[in-house]
Structure 1
Amino acid sequence: MSEEDDSKDSNGDIRKRVKELPQDEKDVNVKPSTIKLKKHVGLVSGTSFIVGTIIGSGIFISPKGVLMETGSVALSLIVWAGAGLLALMGSLCYAELGTLIRKSGGEYQYIKQAFGNIPAFLYAWTSIIVIRTSSMAIICLTFGEYVATFFPYCGNPDLPMKLVASLAIVTLAIINCTDARLATRVQVFFTVVKLAALLVISIGGIVRMAQGHVTELKRGFEGTTKSPSTIALAFYDALWSYDGWNNLNYLTEEIKNPKKNLPRANIAGVLLVTVIYLLTNMSYLTAMTSAELLASDAVAVTWGDRVLGSAAVLVPLSVLFSTFGSANGTLFSGGRVVYVAARDGMLPEMLSYVNCKRYTPVPSILFTAIISIIMVFPGNLSELIDFFSFTAWIFYGVTVSSLIVSRFTMKDAERVFKVPLPIPILFVLLSIYLVIAPIVQSPRIEFLYAFLFIIGGLIFYIPLVHFKLNIPFWGKISTFSQLLFEAVPSPFIPDE
């Protein structure tokens, strides 16, 4: 998909613009060929990207699904803890992969290194069209749903909710295109706000337990399901709430000292979220019965009405902050997958361009935002979660398999962080279980559609990537995009 011949003239114009740029101390000799994304993510901001992306809409909608599938309070809490443990195992594996292969792009880079271009392309294809964009859609739909709680609607509020979700995506796209540092500050701010809100819920639950409101918690395993496949579906709901544990690996090239900060942020972020999630779920059950929790469309709001009284308005506001921050992290990382895949020639080259003034991958961010908005309008939350979880866990398993492969193919490579081998092996086995169990229990047509969609990426890979089919006028589109976004190609430049 190279457009080099058609974009030479525009490159000349862009070079002139680059020469006119104000140069800071670190960029005295900026050249178009060396423009790349800047390192602006430290340990605190890196941890906030993980925590802030994980804590989004999930903890406010998934407790219903987990409790419904498990059938009992005790098993639901075990599932929440187990999901946190699985996320921690995954984050440990990704920490080794990210310090071994220090390139942005997450799963795409690791699958490509271990299994080649075709599996890597199929991941990028699925991630760009389904995984990251459906995640954005779900989070922003929840944002719109909680906005709706502030206004009385006559009839079905779906359309206003979806319009609000789309507006949120557009706002985030503007922020991320404007300045990566601004997007990072936004992430840190909203992470602090959502942690404060969940801390209030957690403390409130502890106080109520001390007061004796433990009737529901004492029910234990009463009503527990005996179906392994149903438990797998419960894990899907819980793991959706933990999704984002791998978020920092998408921006490895933008992390300061990734050898140290990537593992530390991965581990700290997941552990913090696991503790908060357990306390939050227990707190919900001190304020409402299991039946009331299952009947509530906004669990956190119901909790606030019963515990905080007149201050309950703070809960939906906190949810808005939480979902907005999570969507910011998802868009930030999702745009990097597009950017890296395009840089490798797997997608149109113009999607790898970086704005030469702001050092942001504007085309890839806008592309991700547009697909996310498209996903919003036909989207149903429960269907999107199932579809997302099924496809995501296929590639999580494949990615951690690449770690096992690398132990044999990259024996002499420097490993500053090394996870015990049983951990990735167990993670892969659990991933297989999470993919197969729901199919065995309930072989729905949606799972076949998901598989066919993944394989369907070959329709584009074979002619456009493998045979490099030249599309008429594509070079002119690329030239136009360079001028419109003031962007230039950004090749990978290893750290010195």
Structure 2
Amino acid sequence: MQKKLKLWDAIMLVMGSMIGSGIFIVSADMMRNLGSGYWLIVVWVITGIMTVAAAISYGELSALFPKAGGQYTYLKEIFGKRMGFLYGWGLFTVIQTGTIAAVAMAFGKFTAYLIPSLNDAAPIFQSGEFKITWIQILAIAVIILLTYINTRGVESGKILQNIFTGSKIIALLGLIAAGFILVDISHLSENFSLGTDSFNNLKKDFTGNFLKEGWEPISGMTLLGGIAAAMVGSVFSSVAWESVTFVSGEIENPKKNVVKSMIYGTSAVMILYIAVNYVYLNALDRDGIAFAANDRVA
């Protein structure tokens, strides 16, 4: 059978799977937990090292078992059919299904910012707390459309993936360029002026809004806790690179190209993520990042 995915396609799949809405929102919560530009960048660097190291380790498995199926194949080969069976059904019914639904809903909500009438429209159906909205209908329609395109074959899925991933990369590069070129006042030195000092601000008023004057210094074990809490966001934004292993059987020379795609793809995305956070620190002060509306820093 002719392999239809080259190394470049595999890299684009890795990058496209990783880049999502997370990079635009998680830095707000990270800043509230750390209160320092220095520590914000440190956490992203740690996450980058961990992500690339995990990709290298995963690459060893892909070289040992160069078949389609990803984690299902690895678990079945190493721990037996029962473990593979449990994971496969768990992935189908909960893990991947839930992820797809969440991403589709995020797409619908972000679309509603461009088309406010989606938010303003009355629910199509409502019974108590349960309701069906036009945003949900849009999310379902997107899932059906993308599913249909992928059922047409690897070639059509590859083209769509490369287009989407390319647009994501261009958007991030545009944000990075604009963040340094078009900013009137740089806050970079201000955000790094505290050095290794760290703070958190998790206090809220009675309406549920964060108090901007609630910054408190942290150190020692509290700082380690803040780093761990901040990494929830950075790791969330950096997962899904393993998706390429599900299509190993469609990739040319999978023993080499799967691991290469994971290493190159994760490295490129983490460099982009760190650069984007430098843009945040350049364009906004600490409060501007930490208390961005709905955590949307960009």
Counterpart of 2:120, as a letter, is C
More contact order relative to length (CA 8 Å, sep ≥ 6): 2
**Alignment match, 2:162:** 188
TM-score, length of structure 2 as denominator length: 0.80
Is residue 2:258 matched to residue 1:258?
no
Is residue 2:82 matched to residue 1:118?
yes
d(CA) in 2 for partners of 1:210, 1:276: 22
8 Å CA contact 2:121–2:134 kept in 1: the answer is: no
> The residue matched to 1:223 in structure 2 has which SS?
strand
Is residue 2:237 matched to residue 1:241?
yes
**CA-to-aligned-CA distance 1:435-472 (integer Å, 9 cap, x gap):** xxxxxxxxxxxxxxxxxxxxxxxxxxxxxxxxxxxxxx
d(CA) in 2 for partners of 1:298, 1:201: 17
8 Å CA contact 1:144–1:165 kept in 2: the answer is: yes
d(CA) in 1 for partners of 2:140, 2:6: 30
Is residue 2:189 matched to residue 1:223?
no
Given candidates 109, 113, 132, the residue that maps to 2:73 is: 109
8 Å CA contact 1:284–1:299 kept in 2: the answer is: no
1:53–1:118 distance in 2 versus 1, CA, 3 Å: same
1:77–1:161 distance in 2 versus 1, CA, 3 Å: farther
8 Å CA contact 1:65–1:237 kept in 2: the answer is: yes
1:51–1:72 distance in 2 versus 1, CA, 3 Å: same
8 Å CA contact 1:205–1:279 kept in 2: the answer is: no
1:124–1:232 distance in 2 versus 1, CA, 3 Å: farther
d(CA) in 2 for partners of 1:234, 1:134: 23
Counterpart of 1:145, as a letter, is K
d(CA) in 2 for partners of 1:47, 1:118: 32
Counterpart of 2:191, as a letter, is E
**Alignment match, 2:293:** 296
8 Å CA contact 1:208–1:286 kept in 2: the answer is: no
Given candidates 123, 141, 160, the residue that maps to 1:167 is: 141
TM-score, length of structure 1 as denominator length: 0.50
> The residue matched to 2:120 in structure 1 has which SS?
coil
Cα deviation for residue 297 of structure 1 reads: 2.5
Where in structure 2 are the equivalents of 1:430-449 lying within 5 Å? none
**CA-to-aligned-CA distance 1:410-435 (integer Å, 9 cap, x gap):** xxxxxxxxxxxxxxxxxxxxxxxxxx
**Alignment match, 1:88:** 52
Is residue 2:49 matched to residue 1:53?
no
d(CA) in 2 for partners of 1:286, 1:123: 44
8 Å CA contact 1:47–1:269 kept in 2: the answer is: yes
Cα deviation for residue 73 of structure 1 reads: 2.7
**Alignment match, 1:390:** none
d(CA) in 2 for partners of 1:210, 1:103: 52
Is residue 2:74 matched to residue 1:74?
no
> The residue matched to 1:144 in structure 2 has which SS?
helix
d(CA) in 2 for partners of 1:77, 1:260: 32
> The residue matched to 1:216 in structure 2 has which SS?
helix
Cα deviation for residue 211 of structure 1 reads: 6.3
1:129–1:175 distance in 2 versus 1, CA, 3 Å: same
Cα deviation for residue 276 of structure 1 reads: 0.3
8 Å CA contact 2:75–2:83 kept in 1: the answer is: yes
8 Å CA contact 2:183–2:283 kept in 1: the answer is: no
d(CA) in 2 for partners of 1:160, 1:219: 46
1:163–1:228 distance in 2 versus 1, CA, 3 Å: farther
Larger radius of gyration: 1
Is residue 2:41 matched to residue 1:44?
no
**Alignment match, 2:27:** 63
Cα deviation for residue 125 of structure 1 reads: 2.9
Given candidates 134, 138, 154, the residue that maps to 2:120 is: 154
d(CA) in 1 for partners of 2:113, 2:194: 31
Alignment root-mean-square deviation, CA? 2.5
d(CA) in 1 for partners of 2:192, 2:109: 29
Counterpart of 2:193, as a letter, is K
